[in-house]
């Protein structure tokens, strides 16, 4: 019997379209002899849809057609199963039932623990990080504070809230200027290089902060690495077991890898790996970025990056397949960990492919890890048989609390 895998993608996020590309790549590479693949698309206005047409990239050229020809559904627990039930109409029938959810989502409102919280609250097994790891993996300030606590090498950084900046701009600028220019300014929780600026002086710093706070309530500012070489590696596993991919060097004509570098490519389209047919004017997701694979690194640097990557993965308690980005000062050979992408664009399949591990195998490993994580999660105690409300009414219930000023004792 096939395992029914509900692939969830889209959502109210600036990385909505990137998620669609990643999910369709993955669905086209899943082993259909082992899995029944059920696409679950979340629109930008947070409606959920399912239907076979959602496996085809061309369907997303007109979202009105999706709403017309696929089924608007809700996912919930019913009679021992996790079901997609039709949301509208007189007959709200069950469309599909699902064994495990596979979120392939990027950015705020989906990758950041919001979706994982819903899945965990209804109890469905799912692939990837749990709520806590998803939050830490999306919020760069939490991420860096955790890594700092275990002594991982990072560039100097500061962070602040947008309201603190508005209340006392001079103080925040003074704190930031303790760093060495140039600095890089980032919204704390966006991905895909959205809202990021390189700033060489105070004037450009203020412009960069103004840009960042359009996207987030928290802003991160870091020192820029001199003589920069940017490399990435993927880690597959959970807190118990991990393995590492090949390492890539990311190439860009810009000072940092931009959204266009990552996803727009040359716009010529053509046959893309992960798709069954040519895609006009589209991109390969992160697979379209210019890169040197494998990266040109000596044995010592390679081993150092692999070791730090595994430590960083474990420190956040993440699971699934994460890409971890590093910055290297080529002159001093100093390595700095930059950030983690807990559900990376294209699921970083190209990093495993370069090591001789195909995308289909990676997806199967991710699903198996998700099942193991679920079994581990349900083996723990999360509730007690005792009920403190028993006899509560006999003791006066809420009325009996009047003399306690509303406090339980």
pLDDT at 253: 55
Cα 258 from Cα 138, distance rounded (Å): 18
Q: Identify the residue with better confidence: 70 or 193.
A: 70
pLDDT band, very low/low/confident/very high, at 385 (cuts 50, 70, 90)? confident
- Whether domain 137-151+226-251+290-373 has CATH 3.30.420.10: the reply is no
Residue 192 confidence (pLDDT): 57
Judge whether residue 202 has pLDDT over 70: yes
Contacts of 45 (CB under 8 A, 6+ apart): 12
Model pLDDT for residues 268-286, shown as the tens digit of each residue = 444 444 444 444 334 455 5
What CATH number matches the domain at 3-126, 3.20.20.140, 3.30.70.890, 3.40.50.20, 3.30.365.10?
3.40.50.20
- Tell me the mean pLDDT in the region 392-403: 60
Tell me: pLDDT of 150 over 70.
yes
pLDDT number for residue 324 = 98
For β-strands 291-292 and 100-103, DSSP reports them as unpaired
pLDDT of res. 89 = 78
Q: Output 393 or 298, whichever has higher pLDDT.
A: 298
For 72, what's the count of Cα atoms within 13 Å in the CB-facing half-sphere? 14
Write out the two tokens for 75.
């996912």
CATH number assigned to the domain covering 157-223: 3.30.1490.20
Average pLDDT, the chain: 89
pLDDT in tens, 388-397: 677 666 666 6
The domains of the chain are located at: 3-126, 137-151+226-251+290-373, 157-223
């Amino acid at each position: 019997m096939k395992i029914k895998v509900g692939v969830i993608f889209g959502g109210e996020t600036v990385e909505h379209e990137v998620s669609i590309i990643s999910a369709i790549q993955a669905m086209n590479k899943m082993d259909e002899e082992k899995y029944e693949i059920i696409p679950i698309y979340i629109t930008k206005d947070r409606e959920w849809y399912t239907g076979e047409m959602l496996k085809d990239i061309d369907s997303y050229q007109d979202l009105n057609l999706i709403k017309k020809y696929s089924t608007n559904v809700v996912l919930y627990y019913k009679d021992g199963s996790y079901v997609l039930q039709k949301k509208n109409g007189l007959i709200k029938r069950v469309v599909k039932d699902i064994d495990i959810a596979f979120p392939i989502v990027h950015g705020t409102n989906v990758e950041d623990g919001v979706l994982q919280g819903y899945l965990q609250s209804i109890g469905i097994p799912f692939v990837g990080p749990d709520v806590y790891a998803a939050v830490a993996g999306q919020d760069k300030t939490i991420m860096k504070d955790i890594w700092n606590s275990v002594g991982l090498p990072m560039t100097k950084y500061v962070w602040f809230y947008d309201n603190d900046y508005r209340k006392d701009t001079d103080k925040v600028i003074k704190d930031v200027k303790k760093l060495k220019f140039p600095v890089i300014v980032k919204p704390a929780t966006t991905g895909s290089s959205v809202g990021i600026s390189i700033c060489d002086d105070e004037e450009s710093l203020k412009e960069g902060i103004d840009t960042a706070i359009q996207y987030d309530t928290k802003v991160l500012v870091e020192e820029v690495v001199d003589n920069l070489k940017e490399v990435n590696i993927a880690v597959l596993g959970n807190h118990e077991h991990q393995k590492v991919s090949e390492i890539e060097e990311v190439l860009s004509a810009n000072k940092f890898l931009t959204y266009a570098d990552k996803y727009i490519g040359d716009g010529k389209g053509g046959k893309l790996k992960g798709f069954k047919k040519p895609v006009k004017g589209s991109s390969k997701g992160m697979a379209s970025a210019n890169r040197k694979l494998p990266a040109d690194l000596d044995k010592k640097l390679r081993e150092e990056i692999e070791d730090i990557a595994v430590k960083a993965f474990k420190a956040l308690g993440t699971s699934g397949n994460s890409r971890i980005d590093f910055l290297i000062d080529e002159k001093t050979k100093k390595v700095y960990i930059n950030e983690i992408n807990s559900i990376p664009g294209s699921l970083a399949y190209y990093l495993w492919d370069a090591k001789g591990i195909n995308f289909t195998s990676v997806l199967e490993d991710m699903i198996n890890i998700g099942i193991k994580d679920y079994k581990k999660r349900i083996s723990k105690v999360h509730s007690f048989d005792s009920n403190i409300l028993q006899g509560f009414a006999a003791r006066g219930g809420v009325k009996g609390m009047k003399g306690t000023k509303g406090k339980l004792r």
